[in-house]
Amino acid sequence: MKNLRSLPSVDALLGTSLGESHLDTYGHNLTVQAIRETLGEARSANLEREAQIPGQDELLADIGRKLHVWASPTLYPVINASGVILHTNLGRAPLSVDALNAIRDVGGQYSTLEFDMEKGTRGSRLEHANEMLTRLLDAEAALVVNNNASAVLLMLKALASGYKVVIARSQLIEIGGGFRIPDVMLQSGAELTEVGTTNRVHLRDYEQTFDVETTAVLRAHRSNFAIVGFTTEPELKEIAQVAHNQGLYVFDDLGSGALLDTAKYGLEHEPMVQESLAEGADLVCFSGDKLLGGPQAGIIVGRGDLIERLKNHPLARAIRADKMALAALSATLLHYLKGEAEEKIPLWQMIAAQPEEIRHRAEAWREALGRGEVVETQSTVGGGSLPGESLPTFALTFRVSHPQALLAGLRTSSPGVSRSPAVIGRIQDERVTLDPRTVLLHQEKDLLKTLESVLGTQ
């Protein structure tokens, strides 16, 4: 057994050709840290388990592996072939080219984030995207924060803390990550007042609950589940009328934030922001990265006096959106203003894609690979939007003896110059299934590269 004295020094390992290569690639501090940690592990193994002291080549190999892991990002692009358009775990909506360019332009240099160019004095970041939102939605005012959960919390904290807020029991929702409406209301200081039953809520339930301690009604759209069967629920305009008669606010948490009519694409109609405002909601909040197809953001639109109170609340600063989100959101909203959302925003390109177009792409993949079978199946919108709704599609499938192993092989491909990008698929009818609807056109070459590499090992 080698003695601990046989371990090379840090300087000795740095002086090797591989050590010098690591210095060039990873820098001095990270390389020295990896060497010291590797030498420490070797000493501990020898003392605790009388393990043999590794040689210099083995040590250098371990150091190289450490450095590669440490320097590799944990957040990197993947190819979504799952057929889930708004895949929450994969980052929801991919951005348009214009939105990406806006991020690059604003993020790579100085900007007008909080500078008034006309006056030459400090400005407010809260003004960015506001004019576009008010023009697009015919709203008095707008405010952008970092996500929709924050938007709901700010609304309740600033306008309803210490008062009762009425909500139907059918709307006590929980979204991903354990975000629950009752918990948010508790944190805001508002008192939750439930009305109706899980499946049936009547207008009289609201009217009988209103009292002097009530300040608002909150409607929370069930964007990630549906209640079917023996159900009833008043329309928003009816709720708004009785609430306004009592001098109460009406808040509408739409979640998904559709600005286009989803029924046009063969889906159920998703409540639209424009409709909520027209039906009497004082404030409407929604997400930027769901059916809007933009960056993560929480958007609040509605009455100017209420938006002003939100802007002046201390919480607004804690949850404000950053410059890159504001830049991407502005570029996304411009697509809607110009009437080009379906052509420019990837989310709507995917939703609008016709089955025959998708079948053609799947068959081209099969021809390029020389294997697989194209089958008719369904894509889903996902992302807590349009629950249970699907779109007809075609997918390339592979019947293999170990489908989970094939999925894992596609998933564990690594990004980089010499490695194929990771591909996320799904298993359906015991087949690995890859849906072209959610694969961006510029990703097809990389998709085929990964498939060829992984299928060759099956």
**pLDDT per position as a tens digit, 316-336:** 999 999 999 999 999 999 999
The number of beta carbons lying within 10 Å of the beta carbon of residue 167 is 26
CB-CB contact of 227 with 259 (8 Å): no
User: Which pLDDT value is given to residue 251?
Assistant: 97
Structure tokens at 314: 């201390």
CB-CB contact of 273 with 259 (8 Å): yes
Higher model confidence: residue 457 or residue 382?
382
Spatial distance between the Cα atoms of 70 and 67, rounded to a whole number of angstroms: 5
Give the single-character DSSP code of 53: P
User: Which pLDDT value is given to residue 212?
Assistant: 93
If you average pLDDT over residues 38-46, what whole number do you get? 89
First to last CA, the chain: 41
For the stretch 164-197, pLDDT in tens is 999 998 877 776 656 677 788 888 888 889 888 8
Domains of the chain: 4-71 (no CATH), 79-88+346-455 (3.90.1150.180), 95-344 (3.40.640.10)
User: Which pLDDT value is given to residue 458?
Assistant: 66
CB-CB contact of 293 with 348 (8 Å): yes
Spatial distance between the Cα atoms of 425 and 260, rounded to a whole number of angstroms: 28
Burial of 273 (0-12, 13-18, 19+ CB in 10 A): buried
Structure tokens at 316: 């607004």
> pLDDT tier at 450 (50, 70, 90 boundaries)?
very high
Q: Where are the beta strands (DSSP E) in 202-280?
A: 214-220, 249-255
**Rounded to 5 degrees, what are φ and ψ at 143?**
-145, 135
Q: Where are the beta strands (DSSP E) in 45-97?
A: 79-80, 84-86
User: Which pLDDT value is given to residue 186?
Assistant: 80
User: Which pLDDT value is given to residue 312?
Assistant: 95
If you average pLDDT over residues 270-293, what whole number do you get? 96
User: With the CA atoms of 175, 180, 185 and 187 taken in that order, what torsion angle do they form, in degrees rounded to the nearest 10?
Assistant: -110
